[in-house]
Every structure is written in C-alpha cells, then in structure tokens.
Chains A and B, each alone.
Chain A
C-alpha cells in the first residue's frame, strides 16, 4: 500500500474574530490575530492519498488529477483572498487554521469521486501549516 503526498502553497489574509464573543472577549481570546484590518499567511498544504499501484502506469495516484482537484477546490477559492470576506465557509465561523483545514478536507472529500471514481486512491488526510511553527492535520474520516 502506498501513500502519495503532494504539497501546495497559497497566500491568504484573515482576521480571527468570533461573532459569538464581544469585541473585548475577541481581543482577549485572539490577541493580535483579532486586528480589525486582518493579516496574512503563506499556507503550505500537504494532501495525502492512499492506494495500490496501477500496474500499467506505475502510479498509485495520478498527480495531474490531484493538482486539478486541489487547484479548483482550494487554490482558486483561497489563494490571494481574504478568507473572512471572500470565502462563504467563514461567514459565520472564524477562519482559524483548524477550521480552514476542515473546510479544505471537506471540499476535497466531497469532490473526490469526480476525478477518482474508482475504489482507489482514497483521500487519507491533509496537513496545513499556517506558519513554519503552527501545523494542523485533518483525517478524511473526520469530515463529511
């Protein structure tokens, strides 16, 4: 069994702010990440898929298909965007990297069969680094 991992990068701005909290509470919880003007990150996304090797191609995952899926579902909607303003998923929830990771994993899982209609390969997990020091992983089994 093989796991193929492909890395992608995108840059986006965000502001951490919860509509469930007061301004004072938001400032206390999120600190400088609550700056009203927002700030940005160079996100690094690793997408991992698992499967056996196709004997003819020698591949477990056709990376060109994976690139196509990630471009449409992640890079186009999120790269050089303001996550709070431009991404409907973050209209009501704060675009923390936890929530962003879940949203990305959900988008890939929901659209996976369009490009990979067979039993294999399966989306296994995504790993997203907000900075070199803050890294989050979401297993495909954790999301719908």
Chain B
C-alpha cells in the first residue's frame, strides 16, 4: 500500500525524475507537474498529502502557487515543501512566510528530501489523528448537547404547568437549573377531598445525575401521596425509596406539606430543606412579617432508619407561601456575605399582591443583592397564594 501521495512540481524534468524515482522507491505514490498551473489542474483531480515545489518556474512562480494552495481552505492543510536555489536566511524566511511548511535548498541530496518527506508524513499522520479525534469530540459534544436539550425539556415538563391553579390556590415558579438541567423539583398535587399536597426538593449535586434522581423524587412523592396518609408518612416512604435507589452522597433535601382548607391548617415535614416562609395576608401586598415554617429532619436517602417530625401551621385564605431551594439564598457575594434566610425575609416583607409579580420581585431583588455574582447552584422559587 502506498504511504501517501506526493506531488512534485518543477520545470526541470531531471529534478522531477530524480525525486520521483527516490520517492517511489521509498513507497510513495508520486504525481509530477512542470508548472504551478499544471499542478493546480492535477490537484483538481486528486488531492496530494504533500507538495514539493520549486520556487522559480515559468507561468506561475512557486511563491504564487504556494499562496494559492495555502489560501484555499480545501487545500491549505496540504504539507508544502519549497525547493529553492536562492541562498541566505532571508529567502528561506520569505519561503516560510508564504505559508510553506518546510524548505529545502538547491542543490539537494535525494536522501535529505526523503528524510524530510518521512518526517513530514509523521507530522501529517499526527495531524490527521488529531483532526479525527477532534471530529469525534465535536460530534460527541453535539450529541450530548442535543440530549441535554431534550433532557432539560423533559425536566421542565415535570414541573407543574403554569399558570398554576388548584383547589383555591394560585402559584407560580422560577426555575433556574445551574447546568441547563438540575436537581431541583417541586410538585403541587390537588387531593380529592379538597386539600393539596406540596413538595419541594433539592437533590445533592448538579447536572444529569441530580436530574435523574429529581425525577425519581417526584415519582416517589406522587406514589406516597396516592397511598394516602400525610406528610410524615410521605417523608418516611420517600426516604426508604431513595435509600434503596441512590448511591452514597446522593440524597435530597425536601419539604413536604399538606394544606387543608377546611381546617386552615398546613401540616408539614422538613427533611434537611430550607424552611419555607408564610406571609399572613400576603396576597394583599403591603408590609408583611414572615413566619418561618421551621422543621427538623434529615435529608432523604441517607439512612432508612431516619425519623421525621410533623409540624403544623395556620394557613388562611389570603395567605402566601414562599418555597425555595438553597441556591436562591446561598450565593457568596464579593464581601463574602450571603443573602440567607434573613435576607430573603427582608425581601418578602414587602411584595406585590399579584402572584407572578411577587415571584418576579423576589428574584429581581435577590439578583440585585448578589450582583455581580451569578447563581451557582440550581435555583427554584415557588410563590403559592391561597385565594381570599
């Protein structure tokens, strides 16, 4: 098998013949042309891997030929060696400045040319390998990006549809995954008897693994809710589900609640998650003092023996609930401080009456506080209003 295709361009037939003889003997396939114009025609028919060209030729000089080869994206990667009778460093530099890859002074030793051609083909092989790997990487990256796009769309589909209306509640969300796809999830499930099951969760880590688990968290929550019971039973069931399914260091913080409009009570369980804020009369707008719905419980998915504690709060018509994941309040600013729960409470002390406007105000003011630091973690914010 030929080692590669070499095009020899020289107006002197003896030089073409000598080079051709040695190159063929060394196992290369050789084409010859007497002028640059002829060579370009030849290249229209077959693409050489390497060109050895004289500099001084009639019709088209070697300079011009080199410029045309190197100026065309289709041929610029062809390894170009100039044969030059011109003496001196200046002419050698000018040859390379044209874009030639190497230069051999005339008169030359055929062995020297062969050695240069051999080393050039080593380089060509390396370049081809790099190009092949690049192509593979690029196509792999494109495939991954396309899949990530699909996965992100799928994940968005797991979120409640907006505008959210259920059982006398109006809610909206802001969902900002850090890596296009993330480990945050929330759910609002209306129950037949008029109460509503609520869940927000934040899976450890980022990206695809977290997203896969977040889908599982949602399924597990819906299954638990279907089994009946309340937030305490749901938390225990979800903890067992996650312990079975996740690896070490994969777990979720979660907050679960059940809102019963008949009794105006919100029963809730914290599983290592940041405590939601209740704004009594929050749907009227104006100044409100937030109540932190604090709970105490460990993350889901660590130890099936963990137990949880049921908490209870009042939740009246006109009240507002703000659920969030820690990415919202744990951005470190340049002065090394973070918004934290206290800062979020300050922001929530005065929000617009309308649900959508309230969510926007929280996000805008949080971003303004962090500025210029961006969110680093997945961020989810849910504003849920009980209609008066």
Q: Do A and B come from one complex?
A: no
